[in-house]
Structure 1
């Protein structure tokens, strides 16, 4: 009988331990600043459970991890306190590539060893950097960022009341592995983030639209890029980079298709022979050029054309110079403006009456854009953005490999 009681007590203690270790969460958000306009939350304990489950189902991963370089200090042993909800944010009026998070330091000696193992260099004034991140130590906290341009401009934390509710993780997310929230003066839009075996999916929580048939159709085509957007989506995407341009453009619909090709580029230089006569030298190099067609439907083509001229995006040959790739030709016909590359024609797909952007990965990208020449981007199969009514979805599809994403 005593053995049964001991077994029950141990079972209860084990269950309580597992609950507090993997399920109980502190939902308080201490470090989201008032001047943040985008917030990403990651449910660390849910990610841990997903990682452990995947790890247990792939025994070969156990052997590989046992052979890994032990000189690198792991995040779990870095001397940092990892919150139950990792809070990553973007600041208003900063570059799209700038993201920050704030973490507490619980052991400075361990944290110093972690920085050394990850090849961080002391940049002075308690700031460190490596090839990917910048870190600023501020007392018992550290600020981690993809840039050091606005480390000093991170505002005070949001008040405990936000949108008439207590500020915690429930203000931004429900049941996903994470969330991304866009904060404005009027409202907050929340989107869930789910990590699957070979894809990352971001969508608004009430999404009831299945984009899979559209994605499958687009993926079976050969185009590098295919897009169809209405004025609302043009404005939303344009505002990320250039501010509100829809009113100036008077564009109510956009269609675009593009392919990538490697072509010979002629380089002409001049030198002198032994008699000091000028001679022309011709050489060739391989460059990547897109073949594309863009069709802009507009209620006022003259206004749109004048906007491009005002921006000095049209030259005397009616070429659209805002696109730096190879010669193209602009033309206007009734209520639409066409921009076509002149090297090779690209046929636009039929109108699908859906708003989407589909980008299929292409190895030619890596020779043109050095920032994309890393393993993360090489592993991507395609990127999809879709919108219909109030339903939004972004899917990043990765190539199938030996292990699911969370183990890579």
Structure 2
């Protein structure tokens, strides 16, 4: 038999197989409720393709490890139906920290065994929890969230109603690893998520020149935190914390600088001796505290001060109580309100007169986060800085990792 007659069909079959495995995607989004105001999509096939390309081009990773092999195998055989697009959403009028997702299951019993192997606690009624991750299994579906407060509503809206609005991935994502979209009525504002060798970018613009210029100027400093935000940006961020600062307070912009420092903290406790006499006991521990100055510019400093007092954000000792790192001192001047840490106040950085937040990594940050796992601390320690910038209608977030031998997708 002519070898060409065999090879050509085999090549065609291989090409078709590669297309369906790597490029063909089901773009139907069935699991986003009508009352969602934000959606995150992850293109699983694109991320998988990036991972495979990085793995192939880094031979040092080919040997792998038994631990990684078992981890990837357990996920593959966990009973989950891996989607082409992972759909994560935020429900309107819920806390900013509450995000949800729904995945289909091939085998719910196998998935339950998988959860138990990961040490998820069985809460009964097909509900499971580990830390701040909550799961509810409903037939061949699993609802996952950072809270379980909206589980019942989501179950009724998406899993028990056959006439749900079906969306298309092209409405949210365009050939990037992921996207985050904000929904307001029929208007959708999309931001791409791009995973690069040593950074992650979230943006709605390809013009990064102005933002790179900001970063270059900020990198000449050494403060842990530097920020400048105008009224519109204050409004955006205050919504996430359920605080109405921008409008009622008359605050027009905020400037802040902060550093971290490790200090000795004295803890006084009491115990009793053999004669039942009270004995004072002192213990010492190292804690991480910020030193900061926050300048809130205002159109009407008197009204701003009265607003903070009415909200009980400023107490009788003129401490700004909404900042958990006490003690501090708030004072009013002709331009607004200034809040400073009293132990060691610092000077504000030179102003760029732009909108930005710049957080530089500091070993005191992740060493003090005792609730994080070793792997989470490792990831945080690998970050160089986090930058947020806004110019007119252009937004850009950059998470920059330290340079390494491996790209992020293989490191994290």
TM-score, scaled relative to structure 2: 0.89
Which of 62-71 and 272-281 deviates more? 272-281
Shift of 1:210: 4.0
Shift of 1:332: 2.2
Q: Could you tell me which residue of structure 2 aligns to residue 14 of structure 1?
A: 14
Q: Could you tell me which residue of structure 2 aligns to residue 136 of structure 1?
A: 136
Counterparts in 2 of 1:325 and 1:132: CA distance versus 1, 3 Å: closer
The one-character-per-residue Cα deviations of 1:88-141 (angstroms, maximum 9, x if unpaired) are 112222233322211111234543443343233332111223345322111121
Give SS of 1:377's match. helix
Shift of 1:262: 1.1
Q: Could you tell me which residue of structure 1 aligns to residue 175 of structure 2?
A: 175
Question: Is the contact between residue 42 and residue 179 of structure 1 (CA under 8 Å) also seen in structure 2?
Answer: yes
Gaps of 5+ in 2: none
Q: Could you tell me which residue of structure 1 aligns to residue 75 of structure 2?
A: 75
Counterparts in 2 of 1:114 and 1:280: CA distance versus 1, 3 Å: closer
Give SS of 2:28's match. coil
Which of 86-95 and 322-331 deviates more? 322-331
Q: Could you tell me which residue of structure 2 aligns to residue 235 of structure 1?
A: 235
Q: Could you tell me which residue of structure 1 aligns to residue 62 of structure 2?
A: 62
Matched residues in 1 for 2:107 and 2:399: separation? 37
TM-score, scaled relative to structure 1: 0.90
Q: Could you tell me which residue of structure 2 aligns to residue 397 of structure 1?
A: 400
Question: Is the contact between residue 202 and residue 398 of structure 2 (CA under 8 Å) also seen in structure 1?
Answer: yes
The one-character-per-residue Cα deviations of 1:318-352 (angstroms, maximum 9, x if unpaired) are 22222232332222221232112222231211111
The one-character-per-residue Cα deviations of 1:12-64 (angstroms, maximum 9, x if unpaired) are 11111111110011111011112222110011111111111011011221212
Matched residues in 1 for 2:307 and 2:405: separation? 51
Matched residues in 2 for 1:159 and 1:107: separation? 22
Which of 198-207 and 293-302 deviates more? 198-207
Question: Is the contact between residue 173 and residue 192 of structure 1 (CA under 8 Å) also seen in structure 2?
Answer: yes
Please show how residues 236-385 of structure 1 align to structure 2 within 5 Å. 236-269=236-269, 282-366=282-366, 368-372=368-372, 374-375=376-377, 376-385=379-388
Counterparts in 2 of 1:196 and 1:208: CA distance versus 1, 3 Å: closer
Question: Is the contact between residue 331 and residue 337 of structure 1 (CA under 8 Å) also seen in structure 2?
Answer: yes
Matched residues in 1 for 2:142 and 2:281: separation? 56
The one-character-per-residue Cα deviations of 1:235-284 (angstroms, maximum 9, x if unpaired) are 10011112432111111111000001111234445667888877765554
Question: Is the contact between residue 358 and residue 387 of structure 2 (CA under 8 Å) also seen in structure 1?
Answer: yes
Matched residues in 2 for 1:49 and 1:81: separation? 18
Give SS of 2:229's match. strand
Question: Is the contact between residue 356 and residue 387 of structure 2 (CA under 8 Å) also seen in structure 1?
Answer: yes
Counterparts in 2 of 1:66 and 1:210: CA distance versus 1, 3 Å: farther
Question: Is the contact between residue 245 and residue 251 of structure 2 (CA under 8 Å) also seen in structure 1?
Answer: no
Counterparts in 2 of 1:202 and 1:58: CA distance versus 1, 3 Å: same
Give SS of 2:259's match. strand
Counterparts in 2 of 1:400 and 1:147: CA distance versus 1, 3 Å: farther
Give SS of 1:308's match. helix
Q: Could you tell me which residue of structure 2 aligns to residue 47 of structure 1?
A: 47
Shift of 1:144: 1.9
Question: Is the contact between residue 265 and residue 287 of structure 1 (CA under 8 Å) also seen in structure 2?
Answer: yes
Shift of 1:302: 0.5
Shift of 1:153: 2.1
Shift of 1:202: 0.3
Give SS of 1:364's match. helix
Please show how residues 140-151 of structure 1 align to structure 2 within 5 Å. 140-151=140-151
The one-character-per-residue Cα deviations of 1:137-165 (angstroms, maximum 9, x if unpaired) are 11121112232232112162499997xxx
1:217 aligns with 2:217: yes
Give SS of 2:228's match. strand
How many equivalent pairs are there?
405
Give SS of 1:239's match. helix
Matched residues in 1 for 2:162 and 2:274: separation? 78
Matched residues in 1 for 2:208 and 2:221: separation? 26
Shift of 1:310: 0.7
Question: Is the contact between residue 208 and residue 391 of structure 1 (CA under 8 Å) also seen in structure 2?
Answer: no
Gaps of 5+ in 1: none
Matched residues in 1 for 2:130 and 2:81: separation? 21
| Cα RMSD (Å) | 2.7
Matched residues in 2 for 1:302 and 1:248: separation? 12
Question: Is the contact between residue 209 and residue 388 of structure 1 (CA under 8 Å) also seen in structure 2?
Answer: no
Matched residues in 2 for 1:113 and 1:276: separation? 54
